[in-house]
């Protein structure tokens, strides 16, 4: 498989005037905070349109917060919307039936201890950041979660930030049946709250295959995983009338080799309309020997350079299959996650057709890891993502325009054009 980056090492190839302007904005905004209407500023000052899509929904910029400990309260959602995130995926709730029984209840525990630290990639030797935690789901009641969803949707709508709930459903062993009563009850209640909260259109929902699932006995058999990917979307869809849900599937990084990992994405793509409307690729890696946060038994998920290296490798393999005409259906819309530590890394995902980026670790770094010394960590992270002079999105989108990789029609270069690069100018990269 292709195992290298697309963008060159070193500084972006842009005009001296643009380089000076980006550095000036980086330094200025570190003191004053980002512009109130950031996307308009980027369009007017740099000729960059950073609007995109998260699944079927338009978003004002491609950056969002992944489901986790940083999206489990209304306060967090409000702060993220005020900071200017394009979207927020809420903490994952565990499905239950009408009697409140949860077959996956071992994931419905309070797990708040997180350890942030440096990590060095085993593949590349590159340094990065990692957060160690068990990654469990919503520990409160389902009714409490529904109230949270209702409030979060309203908070997001007030600021133009898309908010989407997340759920983990029953995943049977190869010899077991699916507990469809849990699928039906949970999905219908979420759809009801979605409408009551005033959201237009079908329920948008992210189904989470978590990294701790990858390390569990449930995911020890390849046939069981493939069965889940084929049957889970159908089971979720069966709870609602046709057309009443827009379903995203967040894939895990399995413990198996790259060939099987690519097969998991291909399996979803080959299901067509019966499968996912969009795919989130891909959750953290899992190491059964890695110490968990706070000690205890070994086994923990991790990220950093090894995660992005594998994710980009698999996405390159997927696009190769698509361009060779080996997939029976178009690849669903992609949202990327995994070691998105800079705007430049975000563009590595985008050049492989990813239209939105979900982050978690970047919002938890120590204060001295950010240039901006005011505001929330979400604001500080966005400042780095957009305006870092060496690895920011602005600099590297201008690089793509200056080098002719994106056309910049009428003087404007768009993020969505970057996501289509693989089909045209970038085709040779994937077919070599």
- Check: CB of residue 178 under 8 Å from CB of residue 235: yes
Partners of residue 100 on adjacent β-strands:
none
pLDDT value at 397 more than 90: yes
Helix/strand/coil for 268: helix
pLDDT value at 156 more than 90: yes
pLDDT per position as a tens digit, 337-352: 999 999 999 999 999 9
Distance between CA atoms of residues 368 and 372, nearest Å = 9
Q: How many domains does the chain have?
A: 1
- Verdict on whether the full-model pTM lies above 0.95: yes
8, part of any domain: no
* β pairing state of 162-168 and 203-208: parallel
CATH number of the domain bearing residue 24: 3.20.20.70
Q: Mean pLDDT in the chain?
A: 94
Report the candidate in 276, 284, 228, 207 with the shortest Cα–Cα distance to residue 253: 284
**Phi, psi of 222, deg, nearest 5:** -60, -45
300, part of any domain: yes
Partners of residue 52 on adjacent β-strands:
59
pLDDT value at 286 more than 90: no
Tell which wins on pLDDT, 236 or 174.
Answer: 236
Report the candidate in 13, 93, 28, 14 with the shortest Cα–Cα distance to residue 387: 28
Looking at residue 294, what is its pLDDT? 63
pLDDT value at 110 more than 80: no
Residue 134 — very low, low, confident or very high, per pLDDT cuts 50/70/90?
A: low
* β pairing state of 245-250 and 87-94: unpaired
The beta strand positions in 127-190, using DSSP E, are 127-132, 162-168
Looking at residue 409, what is its pLDDT? 65
pLDDT per position as a tens digit, 235-256: 999 999 999 999 999 999 999 9
Q: Average pLDDT, stretch 389-413? A: 92
Q: For residues 81-100, b (16+ Cβ closer than 10 Å) or e, as one string?
A: bbbbbbbbbbbbbbbbbeee
Q: Average pLDDT, stretch 134-155? A: 93
CB neighbours of residue 36 within 10 Å: 8
CB neighbours of residue 114 within 10 Å: 18
36, part of any domain: yes
How many helices (DSSP H) and strands (DSSP E) are in the chain?
Answer: 14, 16
196, part of any domain: yes
CB neighbours of residue 273 within 10 Å: 11
Name the helix (H) or strand (E) containing 203. Answer: strand 203-208
Report the candidate in 161, 335, 159, 330 with the shortest Cα–Cα distance to residue 247: 335
pLDDT value at 158 more than 70: yes
- Provide the domain limits for residue 274: 16-431
**Phi, psi of 213, deg, nearest 5:** -65, -40
Helix/strand/coil for 70: coil
pLDDT per position as a tens digit, 79-103: 999 999 999 999 999 999 999 999 9
pLDDT per position as a tens digit, 116-129: 999 999 988 999 99
pLDDT value at 289 more than 90: no
Report the candidate in 384, 361, 360, 389 with the shortest Cα–Cα distance to residue 372: 384
Of 222-226, 241-245, 282-286, give the range with the top mean pLDDT. 241-245
Residue 135 — very low, low, confident or very high, per pLDDT cuts 50/70/90?
A: low
102, part of any domain: yes
Q: Enumerate the H helices of 203-246 as residue ranges.
A: 211-214, 222-237
131, part of any domain: yes
7, part of any domain: no
> Which of 251-265, 316-330, 383-397, 405-419 shows the lowest mean pLDDT across its residues?
405-419
Partners of residue 48 on adjacent β-strands:
413
169, part of any domain: yes
Tell which wins on pLDDT, 410 or 403.
Answer: 403
């Amino acid at each position: 498989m292709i195992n290298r980056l697309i963008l060159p090492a070193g500084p972006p190839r842009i005009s001296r005037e643009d380089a000076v302007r980006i550095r000036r904005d980086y330094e200025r905004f570190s003191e004053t905070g980002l512009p109130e209407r950031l996307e308009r500023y980027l369009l007017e000052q740099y000729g960059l349109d950073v609007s995109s899509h998260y699944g079927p929904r338009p978003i004002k910029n491609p950056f969002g917060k992944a489901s986790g400990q940083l999206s489990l309260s209304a306060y967090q959602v409000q702060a993220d919307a005020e900071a200017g995130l394009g979207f927020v995926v809420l903490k994952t709730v565990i499905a239950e039936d009408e009697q409140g029984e949860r077959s996956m209840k071992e994931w419905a525990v309070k797990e708040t201890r997180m350890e942030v630290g440096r990590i060095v990639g085993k593949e590349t030797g590159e340094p990065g950041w990692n957060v160690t935690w068990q990654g469990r789901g919503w520990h409160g009641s389902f009714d409490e979660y529904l109230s949270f969803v209702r409030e979060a949707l309203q908070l997001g709508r007030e600021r133009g930030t898309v908010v989407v709930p997340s759920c983990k459903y029953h995943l049977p062993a190869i010899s077991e049946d699916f507990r469809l009563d849990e699928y039906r009850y949970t999905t219908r209640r979420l759809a009801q709250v979605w409408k009551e909260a005033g959201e237009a259109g079908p329920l948008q929902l992210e189904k989470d295959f978590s990294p701790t699932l990858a390390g569990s006995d449930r995911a020890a058999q390849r046939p069981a995983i493939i069965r889940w990917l084929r049957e889970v979307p159908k089971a979720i869809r069966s709870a609602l009338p046709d057309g009443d849900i827009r379903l995203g599937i967040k894939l895990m990084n399995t413990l198996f080799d790259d060939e099987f990992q690519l097969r998991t994405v291909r399996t979803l793509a080959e299901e067509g309309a019966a499968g996912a409307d969009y795919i989130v690729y891909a959750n953290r890696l899992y190491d059964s020997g890695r110490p968990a946060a706070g000690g205890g038994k070994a086994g923990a998920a991790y990220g950093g350079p090894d995660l992005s290296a594998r994710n980009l490798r698999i996405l390159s393999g997927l696009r190769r299959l698509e361009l060779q005409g080996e997939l029976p259906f178009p690849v669903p819309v992609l949202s990327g996650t995994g070691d998105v530590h800079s705007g430049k890394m975000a563009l590595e995902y985008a050049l492989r057709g990813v239209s939105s980026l979900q982050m978690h670790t970047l919002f938890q770094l120590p204060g001295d890891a950010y240039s901006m010394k005011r505001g929330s960590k979400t604001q500080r992270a966005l400042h780095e993502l957009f305006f870092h002079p060496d690895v920011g999105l602005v600099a590297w989108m201008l690089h793509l325009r200056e080098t002719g990789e994106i056309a910049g029609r009428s003087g404007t270069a768009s993020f969505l054009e970057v996501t289509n690069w693989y089909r045209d100018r970038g085709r040779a990269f994937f077919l070599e």
